[in-house]
Structure 1
Amino acid sequence: MENLQKAEENVEIFKITDEPKTVTLKNKIAYAVGDMGNNFLFDMGQLYLLKYFTDVAGLPSALAGTVFLVAKIWDGFMDISVGTWIDNRANISKRGKFRPFMLWAAIPLGLLLIANFTIPNFSVTGKLLYAYVAYMIFGTVYSISNIPFGSMVPTMTRNSQERDELASYRTIGANLGLMLATIGFTPIVLLLPTQKIGYAVAVIIFAILGVLCQWYCYANVKEVYKVPTKPKLTKEELKEQYKALFKNKPLIVISVVNLLTFSSFNLKSTVQVYFAQYVLKDTAAVSYLGFFSIGMILVAAVVVPFLTRKFDKKIVYVAGCLIWAIGDILGFFFTTNATTFIFFTTIAYFGNGFATTLNWSMISDCVEYGEWQSGVRSEGLVYSFFTFFRKLSQAVAGFVPGIVLAWVGYVPNQQQTAEAIFGIRGLMFLYSGSLSIFAIIMILKLYPLTDARFKVIMKEVVARRNKKTTKD
């Protein structure tokens, strides 16, 4: 560590250079389209499934919330299992280590998504059991598709700035998917004679689009740095991989921070439907919000690579969380109609775009840090550890609204009490704003990787690899 600090202090003298650039514009666009497809498939559950459970399937809100809690915790452990499996696969085809999963998992994901929004007319107990099983199976297959997708970046490029750009493209694709899902879903539902039919048709449309996007990504991304086949690990070697995870301080910090920020983001996405319907009494506001606020996330994703050329990633991340917190706190006090709702939420989502974009770049940096620190390189395990916390955040985002809505006396499709209105408002703004402030404190105080330090680490890691190759 002392040598690393000395090298960092003398970074200007020794002029540490980045790795070569290996990603084309076509690759970047394909990677963006891939995450757009991920979000067509994934966001249906985060945005609309709780409302489908309560208002269409007729499940009590507290029970519906437990589906998210249990299913997402299950998903988190599935992420770790899939990450371990991916890292230690013995049979790697010419298609690559990660790409094939996008090809084979796409259609099952689409079918499972449709199954979640077509609950049969069972008893409440039967519907609840069906919801648990369908959503947990969907989450398992999504892990099999998404863990390789996110783990692939270190094999696409070793260049830090290029990783920032891929993270930016990924964020643009993801939020285009979220924007289109937010803008397009409700109008499709309203066009159909009943909500039940409307939800089913809308989900089928987005499932087909999601599958096509994932296939396009598979066909147009490239694993430049081939991963050698590993011999079968012993139990002791597997234990060492897991021990290395918990020694990776940047990974721990960014995972916990993401638990805060992503639960805020997902909870807002869930609650905004309730807020528009019952507080603003304007369901069309959700579509307008999707266009303006999520559009600002895209603006942030474009801006971030330019900012990270001039400022350290930590500083850019903190600036985004600060903007996010300000937007939400002001929104709680001053939102009175659709216009002010969109205005303040747009500010918050712009700040969110900084954090969302940089998460993907920073987690790739954690892979290199882990290899530098322990000698163990585990792209899939590192990424799945990170997504484990994202799944926990989704569990929180699905569970908390259901519990709070039940606590404040929410009744579906009825005039809400003042207590219920206050609860919905607090969920929409205060929850998110307060967690953004905690994220700022953690990044500033605990996250150890600066850009200069990462370049030193990357240089040492590459030197070790070259030395090992020479010996072999």
Structure 2
Amino acid sequence: MSDNAASTTKEFTEEVAPRTTTLRNKLGYAIGDVGNNFLFDMGQLYLLKYFTDVLQLPAALAGTVFLVAKVWDAFMDMSVGTWIDNRQNIGPRGKYRPFILWAAIPLALLLIANFSVPDFSVTGKMIWAYISYMIFGTVYSISNVPFGSMIPTMTRNSQERSELASFRQAGSNLGLMLATIGFMPIVNMLPTDHEGYTVAVIGFAVVGVACQWISYFNIKEVYKEAPKPKATKEDLKKSFKALLKNRPLVTLCIVNLFTFSAFNLKLAVQVYYCEYILKDNTAVSYLGFFSIGMVFVAVALVPLLTKRFDKKTVYSMGCVIWATADILGFFFASNTVLLVIFTSIAYLGNGFTSALNWALVSDCVEYGEWQSGIRSEGMVYSAFTYFRKLSQAIAGFVPGIILTWVGYVPNQQQTATALLGIRGLMFFYSAAMAIMTVIIMHYLYPLTEKRYHEVLVQLLKRRDKDAVVEATTVKD
């Protein structure tokens, strides 16, 4: 980008998209995702191992819980997004913030229920697991879809959105780091694993609620819109058709199906990798501290990189780093130190993509409104999270099937085939998904910074014109 172009872009940004968030708002948004992760990551990190090694459920059956529940969650995200977009009674707390406040305690109680399965038969345990995890996912949608939909209402400034997305990712990874470091030591302190899992989850659930409430009191919706007229079936059809025509959104959804399934699958499998390949359960805590800690480096670098390069370029750059580290890890991560080194580099690359997702999906909101005339933050965000939930279904289902296929037996010495299957799940799957993401982003994602600015200028001019017409009509 030339100096003149950069100067023009800066002037444009300051004129039509001024900065509207404070450091307090950004920190509040970050703390909200610490809470989200305390309440959510327990399932992604430890629930599969709780099912297989504590409840003694067959791995393939345990994996189906994730498949069914996450597909259900994906549809719930779309339903919640549609409902939120079409709410009529919006109070002084705002359109999105109240959900963060009221959903926190039910979400915590349901999380505890997931790790407190009674001593039923296998069938009874499976029924409990299905029901509790599906209800948990529904309530999480009610909390998380509004939380993620807030960025377009907090600022229109593209750079500030990148900063908010980075703060959110920092909060997310702080929550993930603390959950990875602190959970298993608590479990190991208790007389039995069953008691340990329950007590650890209760502790993280309580702190998660506190973090969400802190977030509620420190973020605000700057750009508030009047409630929309009650949507008809025809309006909803138009909105869904507009989503399908939103090329940046569709592309972003597809690549998140790849990257997020890889990320979550790695989180689920690393517990098995440390126990059965490295024979070092404490390695999970080291991974949490060093490798997830590297994501903070990525979060700090993203705002600097996006000042020089398009977000699309930085996104692909992260995937290249990620894929390279995981390929090397498959061949060389034979001890705890090497595992931490290669996984840390992979998470650095992943941090670029994770930090930018929320900024990119906010850009898709404006693009969709410019393209179709329909603005729907909730539906855009829920469409995005729909694919992320599908990716979580893959991340929970695939390990269960592969572990069964390679002959995994809980709490026993594993065969060479089983160990190879665990290594492949840990490294090759995520490397392949990262490479696919680079290819798809390069060829299909159309929003460069220049193009986004053009879209936003035209959109704001259209809004001003519509406002003048409406005012004239009212006057007449």
Mapped to 1, the partners of 2:300 and 2:72 lie a distance apart of: 34
C-alpha change, 1:14 and 1:415, in structure 2 (3 Å) is closer
Q: How does 1:79-118 map to 2 (within 5 A)?
A: 79-118=77-116
Select which of 12, 15, 34 maps to 1:17: 12
Whichever residue aligns with residue 372 of structure 1, its letter is W
Paired position in structure 2 for 1:436? 434
For the Cα contact (< 8 Å) 1:264–1:431, is it kept in 2?
yes
Mapped to 1, the partners of 2:158 and 2:100 lie a distance apart of: 25
For the Cα contact (< 8 Å) 1:313–1:450, is it kept in 2?
yes
Mapped to 1, the partners of 2:235 and 2:78 lie a distance apart of: 16
Q: How does 1:369-408 map to 2 (within 5 A)?
A: 369-408=367-406
Mapped to 1, the partners of 2:392 and 2:96 lie a distance apart of: 24
Encode CA deviations 1:219-276: one digit per residue, 9 max, x unaligned.
1100001121111111111111011000000000011001100000000000000000
Whichever residue aligns with residue 242 of structure 1, its letter is F
For the Cα contact (< 8 Å) 1:369–1:457, is it kept in 2?
yes
C-alpha change, 1:367 and 1:288, in structure 2 (3 Å) is same
Mapped to 1, the partners of 2:333 and 2:5 lie a distance apart of: 48
Select which of 192, 195, 207 maps to 1:194: 192
Q: How does 1:31-180 map to 2 (within 5 A)?
A: 31-180=29-178
Mapped to 2, the partners of 1:118 and 1:413 lie a distance apart of: 21
Select which of 325, 328, 348 maps to 1:327: 325
Whichever residue aligns with residue 82 of structure 2, its letter is T
Mapped to 2, the partners of 1:215 and 1:293 lie a distance apart of: 28
Encode CA deviations 1:86-107: one digit per residue, 9 max, x unaligned.
0000000000000000000000
- Deviation of 1:114 after TM superposition, in Å, equals 0.1
1:252 and 2:264 matched: no
- Deviation of 1:58 after TM superposition, in Å, equals 1.5
Paired position in structure 1 for 2:235? 237
Whichever residue aligns with residue 337 of structure 1, its letter is N
Q: CA RMSD in A?
A: 1.0
Q: Secondary structure at 1:220's aligned position in 2?
A: coil
Mapped to 2, the partners of 1:62 and 1:361 lie a distance apart of: 36
Q: Secondary structure at 2:156's aligned position in 1?
A: coil
For the Cα contact (< 8 Å) 1:189–1:201, is it kept in 2?
yes
Paired position in structure 2 for 1:261? 259
- Deviation of 1:321 after TM superposition, in Å, equals 0.2
- Deviation of 1:14 after TM superposition, in Å, equals 6.4
C-alpha change, 1:252 and 1:212, in structure 2 (3 Å) is same
Mapped to 1, the partners of 2:5 and 2:221 lie a distance apart of: 30
- Deviation of 1:46 after TM superposition, in Å, equals 0.1
| TM norm structure 2 | 0.96
Q: Secondary structure at 1:263's aligned position in 2?
A: helix
| TM norm structure 1 | 0.97
Whichever residue aligns with residue 377 of structure 1, its letter is R
State the identity as a percent.
67
1:461 and 2:445 matched: no
Mapped to 2, the partners of 1:430 and 1:322 lie a distance apart of: 14
Mapped to 2, the partners of 1:314 and 1:94 lie a distance apart of: 37
Select which of 183, 192, 210 maps to 1:185: 183
Mapped to 2, the partners of 1:303 and 1:164 lie a distance apart of: 11
Q: Secondary structure at 2:63's aligned position in 1?
A: helix
Runs of 4+ in structure 1 off by over 3 angstroms are: 10-16
- Deviation of 1:11 after TM superposition, in Å, equals 6.0
Mapped to 2, the partners of 1:163 and 1:261 lie a distance apart of: 21
Paired position in structure 2 for 1:7? none
Q: Secondary structure at 2:103's aligned position in 1?
A: helix
Whichever residue aligns with residue 364 of structure 2, its letter is C
1:301 and 2:296 matched: no
Q: Where does structure 2 lack aligned partners over 5 or more consecutive residues? A: 471-476
Whichever residue aligns with residue 308 of structure 1, its letter is T
For the Cα contact (< 8 Å) 1:82–1:147, is it kept in 2?
yes
Whichever residue aligns with residue 12 of structure 2, its letter is T
- Deviation of 1:468 after TM superposition, in Å, equals 1.5
Q: Secondary structure at 1:167's aligned position in 2?
A: helix
For the Cα contact (< 8 Å) 1:11–1:452, is it kept in 2?
no
Q: Secondary structure at 1:89's aligned position in 2?
A: coil
For the Cα contact (< 8 Å) 1:184–1:287, is it kept in 2?
yes
Whichever residue aligns with residue 168 of structure 1, its letter is S
Q: Secondary structure at 2:441's aligned position in 1?
A: helix
Mapped to 2, the partners of 1:12 and 1:350 lie a distance apart of: 28
Whichever residue aligns with residue 17 of structure 1, its letter is F
Paired position in structure 2 for 1:226? 224
For the Cα contact (< 8 Å) 1:251–1:386, is it kept in 2?
yes
1:286 and 2:284 matched: yes
Q: Where does structure 1 lack aligned partners over 5 or more consecutive residues? A: 1-9
Paired position in structure 2 for 1:6? none
